[in-house]
A and B are shown apart, each in its own frame.
Chain A
Amino acid sequence: MSDLGVTKDDNIEKDVTKPSRRTLLDFVRQQPLGSLGIVLIIIMMLGAIFAQHVAPFNPEDVDFEASPAFGGGAPSLAHPLGADAFGRDILSRLIYGARTALSIGFLSAFFGCSIGAIIGTSSAFFGGKVDLLVQRFIDLMLSFPIIVLAIIVIAVFPKSVVLGVDVNVIVAIAIPFIPKTARVIRSQALAVVTLPYVDAARTNGFSSMRIIFRHILPNVTAPFLILITAFIGQAILLEASLSYLGLGVVEPTPSWGLMLSGVNTDYYRTAPWMIIFPGLAVSIAVFSFNLFGDSLRDWLDPKLKL
């Protein structure tokens, strides 16, 4: 904290005690783990974007000689992470798979959480009957197993692909996140709603929209960021489950989830690399998003600024 023991006579126009704007270097210094998370995320993103240039093989190239079914496929110089049952290069599939994983994981977690957060804060702000109705509807949504909910969505909406991303899968994964986020955010927002600054905003005659978006939502960012980063990991796994059921990404499109499921798991004794590396990829992605989310929360909280 800065020293504010100034008297009225001091005619200071400039704020000398205010710490200067924080730089990227400060972030690295104060949040070393978060920085590691960012670096990993950036590496994954770059890999996904420049997959054609980075990947040593085409992910859909089949080379049966390298297949474990014929005794090959172990990690080697040619295939650093080995090859799968069809003899496809796992490293290349992981790199291309990052596209699917990141786009679906990030987009669905972001949309799901954002809509959930808005519903949660609105429900807390309006209270009374609105709150009751919204919460019962959320109970209803929560009573469906995620996968069933996702199947319903995919069955109802026609398939549509925008920019190579399957919108249906994103919606299907995002919808189960909405009630979960809404619940958590509502509980936090309930505490914020009773705070005097919300009352002050009301007595200033601000619209409900303004109060929700400007005064309540920014004060529930901590659970929001935690949820988003946790759900990115879940989304990647959920995408795998949907793909396994044939509702998500379809072979031969590379996807981390698909690599972890289906026929590949039959090989785990003889060719463990087939599941170790995709599993590792999912773990690292989830891990780095969580690290990043944690430190982003601390960084964005003005109270924790030093």
Chain B
Amino acid sequence: MSQPPLLDVRNLQVEFKLKNGTVRAVDNVSFQVNRGEFLSIVGESGCGKSVTALSIMKLLPKRVAEIKADYVKFDGQDITNLSENEMRKIRGRRMSMIFQEPMTSLNPVLTIGDQLTEPLITHLEMSEEEANNRAIELLNMVGIPEPEKRLTQYPHQFSGGMRQRVMIAIGLACEPDLIIADEPTTALDVTIQAQILELLKDICNRLGVAIIMITHNLGVVAAYADKVNVMYAARIVEKGGASEIFGKPSHPYTIGLLRSVPRMDKKRGGRLATIEGLPPNLMAPPSGCRFKPRCPMAADTCDSSPELKERSKGKNHFTACFYSDEANKKGASIYVSDKDKFKPIKVKKDKPVLSVRGLKQHFGVSFRSGWLSSVSGTVKAVDDISFDVYPGETVGLVGESGCGKTSVGRAILHLNLPTGGELKFNEKELNQKSVALVRQDMQVIFQDPFSSLNPRMTIGQILEEPLKVHKIETDEVARLKRVSELLTKVGLYPYMRDRYPHELSGGQRQRVGIARALCMEPKIIICDEPVSALDVSVQAQIINLLEDLQRELGIAYLFIAHDLAVVKHISHKVIVMYLGKVMEIGDSDTIYGEPKHPYTKALLDAAPIPDPNIERGREKIILKGELPSPLNPPKGCVFSSRCNFVTEDCRKASPELVDFDNNHLAACINIEGGK
């Protein structure tokens, strides 16, 4: 007995009419979702995954977007030609949506209660009291403590993770059959991400709600999705069960995507695998197979478009590639591996290039608590941190957002004046005055490639400015040559110096950021989340570039990131931070291989691995709760409020870092008993 699918999309096509052309953002996409199924749509940014979801909900602006489809059947009813009024009855009531940004998807001037009861009153015509009771029930269901009290609060009184829970509660309010979640965890920390994903999966199992989750992170879906659709340049290139897609991928793009993710369960060393190039511009997509320009298996046949074909009957595994059997058989070996060419970087540990001792960065804050009273306090963003960075070494600094890792970088660069501790650069003391002398040796790469370049300057102007100001290259022709060299070095083309930043893609802009840092030939570069805003395939390119440059120029990196897998791949030494304090510090292999501190363990458990077999098999410690307010940190050990092994003694005194063996330090009094 086969039940008809809950959602059946056949040949969905979405076109945007823009001033300078038409973009087909979704091209002949067909898929089905059954009741209670967890489908994931995976792809890089701009591949049309969000547009697919929005067009099912009919939330696209009618003026510019044209939606065509053979049919989009929801519970047997074709909704392609439904009027706005009829659609409104389905939206929220029978299918609902959760957005990426929990900070902006709740209305800041309405209480959580108002926003939760609104759909109940409009769709289910409940009375206010009934709606209130249901709202409390819903908040309980999504794991928000003290729901009665929380109902009267406003969104700003909730943290990001809590807000996302509220969004899920609103989505669940009318007991819909389908929830579409558009990157629901991208803006959240790993520990919170794990909580939210568990919650979604639980809802899917318990209430039989079908979930479509859109994401760019392959690891996230491995553990949770039943089915996966892989999209590339507006088309579905592969779809099937999660175990097939992750275990036996048969489209070169899927294979490439899977292998370009740095993995926590693999030994580090060598370069990351990448997919060369960039996704095509949808304004003028390549004819034939769209992956052809980047595909290692491309042949003449690929000039015509491959159909999405079932690989073997009844398996429900579809691939749009002429050589899918071959790709399936060969797996990752279709990509030329240059892994062996690159030996891991050896670090000489004689003189540290940067030495940090007892660094403190405290911020005084005061805010209004009543009409006339104000509260003041100190946020210890960085509290007593010490480490060394040697030439050619990469030190990874990890932790959840708000743990003070960025503040460490800013304090070292003297962008904020550190409030305590000692900084030494090349054995010379760094202070407000002497920092001016070593500015050229200490550079920075920022997270956001969109705002880290001055939009009013061309790439050439940006790169030659430091050369000009510091009179390193006074001759204009020589300067131009230098700029061209720099651009080539970071994998761009010299002609790009006449471009403005907005004319480049995110990955290219990040390369310009790296070139700017390089142009002073620095000894150390502080990399503040340099890849977290980039797509997986581009992320791998940038990490490789950073490693190549290190190999060639012997630069040291302080690599600040929240993605543990990336840090594992690139770092020699890792520092784990929590609420301004170091929890654990040690060699990368030691930290990832035998973590001591319960926080490190929890972080490692929360980080997803893109393999459903491993991911489903492993036992996880899921951290409860969220980062406490830095204004009012827990007494004693700062981690005590979330630690699963907490004892009375933990709350008494802040634990010192204890050396375990060979520069592996951890700050926890229960380490032997912790296990």
Residues of A within 8 A of B (CB): 1-8, 12-15, 18, 195-197, 199-207, 210, 214-215, 218-219, 221, 302-303, 305-306
B17: chain A residues within 8 A (beta carbon): none
With A4-B505, A5-B278, A302-B455 as given contacts, are A200 and B496 in contact (CB-CB < 8 Å)?
no
Q: Which of B175-218 contact A (CB under 8 A)?
A: none
CA distance A204 to B521 in the complex (A): 11
Closest CB in chain A relative to B60 CB, distance in Å:
21
How many B residues, CB 8 Å from partner?
Answer: 52
B413: chain A residues within 8 A (beta carbon): 199, 202-203
Chain B 508-529, CB-CB to A under 8 Å as 1, else 0, gives 1000010010001000000000
Contact with B281, one of A1, A15, A196, A207 (Cβ below 8 angstroms) = A1
Complex contact B20–A7 (CB within 8 A): no
User: 6 additional contacts, CB 8 Å, given A3-B281, A4-B278, A7-B293?
Assistant: A1-B283, A7-B276, A195-B451, A200-B452, A204-B469, A306-B20
A195: chain B residues within 8 A (beta carbon): 451-452
Complex contact A210–B469 (CB within 8 A): yes
Q: Which of B267-298 contact A (CB under 8 A)?
A: 276-281, 283-284, 286, 293-294
Complex contact A199–B415 (CB within 8 A): yes
Contact with B436, one of A1, A15, A199, A205 (Cβ below 8 angstroms) = A205
A5: chain B residues within 8 A (beta carbon): 277-281, 286, 293
Closest CB in chain A relative to B152 CB, distance in Å:
33
Complex contact B446–A196 (CB within 8 A): yes
B19: chain A residues within 8 A (beta carbon): 306
A210: chain B residues within 8 A (beta carbon): 469
What would be 16 A-B contacts, judged by CB atoms less than 8 Å apart?
Answer: A1-B283, A4-B281, A4-B504, A7-B293, A13-B495, A18-B498, A199-B413, A199-B444, A200-B444, A200-B516, A202-B413, A206-B466, A206-B469, A214-B454, A214-B465, A305-B500
CA distance A196 to B462 in the complex (A): 13
A2: chain B residues within 8 A (beta carbon): 281, 503
Question: B40 at interface (Cβ–Cβ under 8 A)?
Answer: no
Contact with A14, one of B283, B446, B451, B495 (Cβ below 8 angstroms) = B495
Complex contact B466–A204 (CB within 8 A): yes
A205: chain B residues within 8 A (beta carbon): 436, 439-440, 466, 469-470
Question: B62 at interface (Cβ–Cβ under 8 A)?
Answer: no
CA distance A257 to B613 in the complex (A): 82
CA distance A197 to B444 in the complex (A): 10
A302: chain B residues within 8 A (beta carbon): 455-456, 500, 502
Complex contact A197–B452 (CB within 8 A): yes
Complex contact A7–B502 (CB within 8 A): no
Complex contact A15–B498 (CB within 8 A): yes
Closest CB in chain A relative to B253 CB, distance in Å:
14
B293: chain A residues within 8 A (beta carbon): 5, 7
CA distance A204 to B443 in the complex (A): 7
Complex contact A196–B451 (CB within 8 A): yes
CA distance A160 to B277 in the complex (A): 66
Complex contact A219–B276 (CB within 8 A): no
Question: B493 at interface (Cβ–Cβ under 8 A)?
Answer: yes
Contact with B454, one of A8, A13, A15, A215 (Cβ below 8 angstroms) = A215
CA distance A221 to B456 in the complex (A): 10
Closest CB in chain B relative to A3 CB, distance in Å:
4
Question: B453 at interface (Cβ–Cβ under 8 A)?
Answer: yes
A14: chain B residues within 8 A (beta carbon): 495
Closest CB in chain A relative to B4 CB, distance in Å:
41
Which residue on A lies nearest to B493, using beta carbons? Answer: A12
Closest CB in chain B relative to A305 CB, distance in Å:
8
- List of 6 A-B pairs having minimum Cβ-Cβ separation, nearest first: A205-B439, A15-B495, A196-B452, A196-B446, A218-B456, A302-B500
B508: chain A residues within 8 A (beta carbon): 4
Closest CB in chain B relative to A117 CB, distance in Å:
15
B502: chain A residues within 8 A (beta carbon): 302-303
Closest CB in chain B relative to A16 CB, distance in Å:
9
CA distance A98 to B415 in the complex (A): 51
Contact with A303, one of B439, B455, B491, B513 (Cβ below 8 angstroms) = B455
For the complex, would chain A's binding face be called helix, strand, loop or mixed by DSSP majority? loop
Question: B499 at interface (Cβ–Cβ under 8 A)?
Answer: yes
B436: chain A residues within 8 A (beta carbon): 205
Chain B 345-360, CB-CB to A under 8 Å as 1, else 0, gives 0000000000000000
Question: B442 at interface (Cβ–Cβ under 8 A)?
Answer: yes
CA distance A201 to B468 in the complex (A): 13
CA distance A4 to B413 in the complex (A): 34
Closest CB in chain A relative to B507 CB, distance in Å:
10
CA distance A1 to B502 in the complex (A): 9
With A4-B281, A13-B494 as given contacts, are A202 and B415 in contact (CB-CB < 8 Å)?
yes
B520: chain A residues within 8 A (beta carbon): 204
B505: chain A residues within 8 A (beta carbon): 4
Question: B8 at interface (Cβ–Cβ under 8 A)?
Answer: no
Contact with A6, one of B277, B466, B516 (Cβ below 8 angstroms) = B277
B498: chain A residues within 8 A (beta carbon): 15, 18
CA distance A7 to B443 in the complex (A): 28
Question: B226 at interface (Cβ–Cβ under 8 A)?
Answer: no
Closest CB in chain A relative to B252 CB, distance in Å:
15
Complex contact A203–B455 (CB within 8 A): no
Question: B448 at interface (Cβ–Cβ under 8 A)?
Answer: yes
CA distance A303 to B503 in the complex (A): 8
Residue from the set A5, A8, A221 with the largest chain B CB neighbour count within 10 Å:
A5
Closest CB in chain A relative to B457 CB, distance in Å:
8
Closest CB in chain A relative to B151 CB, distance in Å:
35
Chain B 429-464, CB-CB to A under 8 Å as 1, else 0, gives 000000010011011101110011111110000000
Which residue on B lies nearest to A21, using beta carbons? Answer: B498
CA distance A1 to B293 in the complex (A): 19
Which residue on A lies nearest to B541, using beta carbons? Answer: A8
CA distance A203 to B448 in the complex (A): 16
With A18-B499, A306-B19 as given contacts, are A203 and B443 in contact (CB-CB < 8 Å)?
yes
Complex contact A8–B455 (CB within 8 A): no
Closest CB in chain B relative to A38 CB, distance in Å:
23
A12: chain B residues within 8 A (beta carbon): 493, 495
Complex contact B277–A7 (CB within 8 A): yes
Closest CB in chain A relative to B102 CB, distance in Å:
22
B513: chain A residues within 8 A (beta carbon): 200
B279: chain A residues within 8 A (beta carbon): 5
Closest CB in chain B relative to A287 CB, distance in Å:
27
B444: chain A residues within 8 A (beta carbon): 199-200, 203
Closest CB in chain A relative to B23 CB, distance in Å:
11
Complex contact B495–A196 (CB within 8 A): no
Closest CB in chain A relative to B430 CB, distance in Å:
13
Chain B 375-411, CB-CB to A under 8 Å as 1, else 0, gives 0000000000000000000000000000000000010
With A203-B444, A205-B440, A205-B470 as given contacts, are A8 and B491 in contact (CB-CB < 8 Å)?
yes
Which residue on A lies nearest to B279, using beta carbons? Answer: A5
Closest CB in chain B relative to A203 CB, distance in Å:
5
B276: chain A residues within 8 A (beta carbon): 7-8
With A196-B452, A197-B451, A204-B520 as given contacts, are A18 and B495 in contact (CB-CB < 8 Å)?
yes
Residue from the set B280, B284, B499 with the largest chain A CB neighbour count within 10 Å:
B499
Closest CB in chain A relative to B125 CB, distance in Å:
45
CA distance A303 to B450 in the complex (A): 12
Complex contact B456–A219 (CB within 8 A): yes
Closest CB in chain A relative to B493 CB, distance in Å:
6
CA distance A214 to B520 in the complex (A): 19
Residue from the set B19, B277, B498 with the largest chain A CB neighbour count within 10 Å:
B277
B281: chain A residues within 8 A (beta carbon): 1-5
B454: chain A residues within 8 A (beta carbon): 197, 201, 214-215, 218-219
Closest CB in chain A relative to B295 CB, distance in Å:
11
Chain B 463-480, CB-CB to A under 8 Å as 1, else 0, gives 001100110000000000
With A197-B453, A200-B446 as given contacts, are A3 and B466 in contact (CB-CB < 8 Å)?
no
CA distance A3 to B283 in the complex (A): 9
Contact with B496, one of A1, A15, A201 (Cβ below 8 angstroms) = A15
B446: chain A residues within 8 A (beta carbon): 196, 199-200
CA distance A305 to B456 in the complex (A): 12
